[in-house]
Amino acid sequence: MGEPRDEFAEAGARERRALVRVVEADGELADPAWRDAFAEVPRHLFVPYYYVPGTGGYERLWSGDPDPARRDQWLRGAYEDTAIATRVRDGDLVSSASQPSLMALMLRALDVRDGHHVLEIGAGTGYHAALLCHRLGEEHVTTVDLDEEIAESARTHLAAAGYRPAVIAADGARGCPERAPYDRIVATCAVPSVPYPWLAQCAAGALVLTPLSTGLLLLRVDDVTHAEGRFLETSAYFVALRGVAGRVPRHGPAGDERFRFFWGLVDRVLDRNEALSLWLREGRPERERFGVTVGGDRQWAWLDDPEGPYAWPLAGA
């Protein structure tokens, strides 16, 4: 039995070409393999419906709308370089598909190679897993989501696009030990600290990329209890692992997102005035000056040097 017919295939290909041009302009598609993935994976199959702000709340756009103009609006929106609201509950946004250029940045940082096995934490729509499947082959990709409905939806979207990686409904904090070891682990949900099961399921020298505070932390794994790395320079806002509210700092200098990031790392161990004073004294440091070390049963964030004077234990570690 063949794949389901895609009535939007031709128009979708045109919209994909436009999206690739936009993401290329950001410098994130220098690798031809990732350029091909973004050019060929049909994002619209992963967002058959989504929500946009409307009068008094969100309105739904979907592929089956009887109004051709609204179908066109849905398709164009599926390929805009923005995050897409995919799940709304009681008027509140609970899930979204990440901005394609941010996905491209994360995939570049992940530095995957042929033959690598990748574990994704947070299946979402399945689009990110599809990009990995295109690059590596579906047999090398495992994606995990705690929500069975989300996992099943991702599985359906992936199959519609012709990909069948392992899609597991399970607690992402526990990883997926039955398919370990992994050369790369990438999370599309925020964590307050690095789950130890992830490290235990990594091959030596593996990379782990995960949102933490409002940044993206890239760790190199030495062994099951030791890893270290720095934050990428970009900001990143993701739904928290297990669906609980993310630890987004509530206070900071108006408009200064860099302090929000720092406060998200230290708000359990410093009061706001202490944190602000230190941050100003150190010259309003950018994200890439910060890092995280996992050593045995301890995890700590640090500024400039893991053995330097500025280090703070991570929450929940």
Looking at 59-99, list the stretches that DSSP marks H as alpha helix, in order from N- to C-terminal side. Answer: 68-78
Nearest to 59 by CA among 73, 80, 79: 73
Nearest to 20 by CA among 9, 36, 44, 2: 36
Let me know if 95 is a catalytic residue. Answer: yes
pLDDT band at 302 (very low <50, low <70, confident <90, very high): very high
The stretch 100-115 carries a mean pLDDT of 97
CB distance 101 to 22 below 8 Å:
yes
Taken in order 268, 124, 37, 186, is the CA torsion positive or negative? positive
Which pLDDT tens digit goes with each residue over 127-183? 999 999 999 999 999 999 999 999 999 999 999 999 999 999 999 999 999 999 999
Grouping H, G, I as helix, E, B as strand and the rest as coil, residue 195 is coil
Q: Please state, in angstroms and as integers, the Cα–Cα distance from residue 249 to each residue in 102, 119, 214, 269, 291, following that order.
A: 21, 28, 9, 13, 18
Which pLDDT tens digit goes with each residue over 40-68? 999 999 999 999 988 778 899 999 999 99
Which pLDDT tens digit goes with each residue over 211-264? 999 999 999 999 999 999 999 999 998 888 864 333 444 444 545 889 999 999
Catalytic residue among 63, 95, 101, 277: 95
pLDDT band at 116 (very low <50, low <70, confident <90, very high): very high
CB distance 310 to 265 below 8 Å:
no
Q: What is the pTM of this model?
A: 0.93
Q: Which helix (H) or strand (E) holds 259?
A: helix 257-266
Domain edges within the chain: 1-98, 244-313
CB distance 196 to 257 below 8 Å:
no
Which pLDDT tens digit goes with each residue over 90-104? 777 778 899 999 999
